[in-house]
């Protein structure tokens, strides 16, 4: 297992280099240093100021030299400063990860647990009217655009009840919950619809396996057969689909953070794209792929832990 | 004396999208305690459906029990509440199935799967490990203590089927339904498993229903045989009589399908359904 993880980490180096090269290339094709300077300090800034800015950022150096320096910085997790705000990015990421996780993690867990529970229940009452109603409900949840939930919850929770803030965020101990409650609900709703559909399919496939008949022939109740035999087999399929996304939760949700004014990493990326803040976008892409690769390795490890037939070597 | 099992005019349909399919069309037979009955027939004859029906293991829907009674010690299984059904599954009537590799749950150890059955029906058993080992030993698994924490995939097909048999026996059932227990195994393992069942029959007092398409394996184990053809029992009697003097054309055809060692044949015998239809 240990050797396997090491090998996978080594394999990930060329992938990461590819990601870095592509994003770097993209930005250099899209944006000349002059345009970047105009974007960063304003097109009305004097010519000298803009040239000085380009020099200070090293954008006048040969592209290959810039690229090598860029890779070095990312590899040692030195993300530099934002062009727009001038803030230290390492610091920005540290501050943004908290609010992001505070929303995505509970939202993810609610979708997962609620989804598994509802899907198992659907399989328990399979092919009944109740089963079909839950499917219909899940499809309805999926079909409504996320912004509709956001506006609806803001209207009810903030305007009508006047209990939750419509947007914004502050660390205030337990009071913090008020700021993240509505975003978490949106996140959970959005996840739940698709999760229920997916998990039901996984469990329905398991329910027709021979081992289910054996378990029933032993005299076990359908509840135990589902909750023990089917669940554990279904988890194997479920792991492949969910664990990989787990580390990426730290990157936050682009849409939800933006609408609720949560200063998380999702919001950071949206604003950086809007202002062509190159260091922020490059760092976010790099971190995102790093976390995704980590998620894939984690998937394999969880897979081996859940399924005795799998050996990592 | 009431027999262990008394099946009266049992008919089972399947509701499919293309209408009703009659899988079992009114069959009757009895089984005494300790008796072994072989139900022989080809694929689709309704023999496996009959076996699963005895504890209502067929998924309903699509299965519909149209008519009949399944009397276990005089009580009708078809009228039992789910709780009572669960109490007889495994405890009174246990099963082994055709495909041991998929019939065992791949993600639980064999100890876990056998102990689960014992815990359910024999809560008085204290030392589960010892009990599991006892049954693994009974079905001829070498060094059973070392096998406890093995997963099904670590065992050969023959071993897996022995584990299935151990699991079935562990709750001391009165009836074992062996549904094509050797079909998925190669011939030498087939012989070993059949020897095992014959041996168990003398050591453990238990009735057996052996469901098979192969007349060749029932000799020496089945007291009586019921031949099923298109959902009906077409011939029913003591095994030696049926084998020596088959009455129904289908039974004769089935017996002719057994390949004879040393026989000079170019092709294996097949069953001519058109001729059977004409005969009827």
For B221-254, the pLDDT digits (tens) are: 888 999 888 888 888 989 888 888 887 777 877 7
Inside any domain, residue A84: no
> Is there a contact between A215 and B90 if contact means CB atoms under 8 Å apart?
no
Same domain, A118 and A162: yes
What DSSP designation does B107 have?
Answer: T
Option in B90, B103, B153 nearest A219 (CB): B90
- The reported pLDDT for the residue numbered A173 is 81
**Pairwise CA distance, residues A21 & A19, whole Å:** 5
Inside any domain, residue A81: no
Same domain, A144 and A20: no
pLDDT digits (tens, 9 = 90+) for B67-118: 989 999 989 989 999 999 999 999 999 999 988 889 999 999 999 999 999 9
Same domain, A70 and A103: no
Same domain, A71 and A94: no
B49 interface with A at CB cutoff 8 Å: no
End-to-end alpha carbon distance in chain A: 6
Residue A66 lies in domain: 2-75
Same domain, A139 and A245: yes
| Predicted structure pTM score | 0.82
Inside any domain, residue A80: no
End residue of a domain, out of A28, A47, A75 = A75
How would residue A199 be classed by pLDDT, with cut points 50, 70 and 90? very high
CA A134 to chain centre: 26
What sign results for the dihedral spanned by CA atoms B70, B74, B80, B84?
A: negative
- The reported pLDDT for the residue numbered B106 is 92
Inside any domain, residue A224: yes
- The reported pLDDT for the residue numbered A230 is 93
Chain A closest-CA separation from residue B214 CA (Å):
22
Chain B closest-CA separation from residue A19 CA (Å):
38
Q: Tell me the ipTM for this assembly.
A: 0.88
End-to-end alpha carbon distance in chain B: 37
Same domain, A218 and A116: yes
Same domain, A70 and A152: no
Look at residue B274 and tell me whether its pLDDT is greater than 90.
no
A216 interface with B at CB cutoff 8 Å: yes
In three-state form (DSSP H/G/I as H, E/B as E, the rest C), the secondary structure along B126-179 is CCHHHHHHHHHHHCCCCCHHHHCCCCHHHCCHHHHHHHHHHHHHCCCCCEEEEE
**Pairwise CA distance, residues A223 & A230, whole Å:** 10
Inside any domain, residue A312: no
Number of structural domains found in chain A: 2
A132 interface with B at CB cutoff 8 Å: no
The secondary structure of A197-261 as a DSSP string is: HHHHHHHHHHHTSHHHHHHHHHT--HHHIIIIIIHHHHHHHHHHHHGGGSGGGGG--HHHHHHHT
Domain with A189 in it: what CATH number?
Answer: 1.10.3720.10
Q: Is B226 helix (H, G, I), strand (E, B) or coil?
A: strand
Same domain, A268 and A152: yes
Chain A closest-CA separation from residue B54 CA (Å):
11
Look at residue A273 and tell me whether its pLDDT is greater than 90.
no
pLDDT digits (tens, 9 = 90+) for A94-119: 888 888 888 899 999 998 999 999 99
Inside any domain, residue A231: yes
Same domain, A6 and A95: no
């Amino acid at each position: 297992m240990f050797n396997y993880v090491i090998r996978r980490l080594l394999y990930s180096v060329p992938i990461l280099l590819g990601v870095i090269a592509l994003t770097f290339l993209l930005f250099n094709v899209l944006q000349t240093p002059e345009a970047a300077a105009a974007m960063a300090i304003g097109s009305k800034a004097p010519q000298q100021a803009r040239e000085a800015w380009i020099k200070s950022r090293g954008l006048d150096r040969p592209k290959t030299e810039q690229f090598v320096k860029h890779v070095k910085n990312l590899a040692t997790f030195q993300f530099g400063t934002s062009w727009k705000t001038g803030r230290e990015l390492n610091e920005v990421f540290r501050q943004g990860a908290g609010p992001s996780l505070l929303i995505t993690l509970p939202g993810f867990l609610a979708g997962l647990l609620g989804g598994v529970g509802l899907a198992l229940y659907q399989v328990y009452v399979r092919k009944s009217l109740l089963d079909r109603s839950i499917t219909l409900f899940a499809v309805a949840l999926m079909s409504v655009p996320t912004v509709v939930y956001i506006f609806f919850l803001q209207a009810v929770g903030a305007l009508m009840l006047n209990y939750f803030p419509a947007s914004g965020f502050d660390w205030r101990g337990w009071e913090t919950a008020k700021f993240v409650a509505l975003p978490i609900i949106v996140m959970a709703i959005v996840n739940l619809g698709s999760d229920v559909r997916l998990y039901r399919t996984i469990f329905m496939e398991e329910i027709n396996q021979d081992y289910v008949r054996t378990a029933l022939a032993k005299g076990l109740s359908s509840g135990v057969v589902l909750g023990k035999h089917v669940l554990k087999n279904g988890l194997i399929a479920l792991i492949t689909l969910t664990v990989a996304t787990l580390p990426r939760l730290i990157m936050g949700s682009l849409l939800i953070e933006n609408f609720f004014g949560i200063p998380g990493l999702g919001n950071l990326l949206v604003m950086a794209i809007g202002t062509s803040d190159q260091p922020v976008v490059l760092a976010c892409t790099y971190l995102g792929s790093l976390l995704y690769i980590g998620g894939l390795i984690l998937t394999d490890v969880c897979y081996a832990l859940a399924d005795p037939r799998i050996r990592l070597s | 004396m009431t027999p262990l099992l008394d099946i009266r005019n049992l008919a089972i349909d399947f509701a499919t999208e293309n209408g009703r399919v009659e899988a079992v069309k009114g069959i009757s037979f009895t089984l005494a305690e300790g008796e072994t009955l072989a139900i022989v027939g080809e694929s689709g004859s309704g023999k496996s459906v009959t076996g699963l029906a005895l504890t209502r293991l067929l998924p309903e829907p699509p299965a519909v029990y149209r008519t009949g009674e399944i009397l276990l010690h005089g009580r009708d299984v078809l009228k039992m509440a789910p709780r009572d059904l669960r109490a007889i599954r495994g405890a009174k009537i246990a099963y082994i199935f055709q495909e041991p590799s998929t019939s065992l749950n791949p993600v639980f150890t064999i100890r876990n799967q056998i102990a689960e059955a014992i815990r359910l029906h024999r809560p008085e058993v204290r030392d589960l490990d010892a009990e599991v080992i006892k049954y693994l030993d009974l079905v001829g698994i070498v060094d059973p203590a070392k096998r406890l924490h093995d997963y099904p995939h670590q065992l050969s097909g023959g071993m897996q089927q022995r584990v299935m048999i151990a699991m079935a026996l562990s709750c001391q059932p009165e009836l074992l339904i062996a549904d094509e227990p050797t079909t998925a195994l190669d011939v030498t393992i087939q012989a070993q498993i059949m020897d095992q069942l014959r041996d168990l029959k003398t050591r453990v007092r238990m009735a057996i229903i052996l469901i098979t398409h192969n007349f060749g394996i029932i000799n020496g184990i089945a007291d009586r045989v019921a031949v099923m053809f298109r959902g009906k029992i077409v011939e029913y009697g003591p095994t030696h009589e049926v084998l020596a003097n088959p009455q129904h054309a289908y039974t004769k055809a089935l017996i002719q399908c057994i390949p004879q060692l040393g026989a000079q044949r170019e092709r294996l015998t097949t069953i001519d359904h058109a001729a059977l239809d004409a005969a009827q």
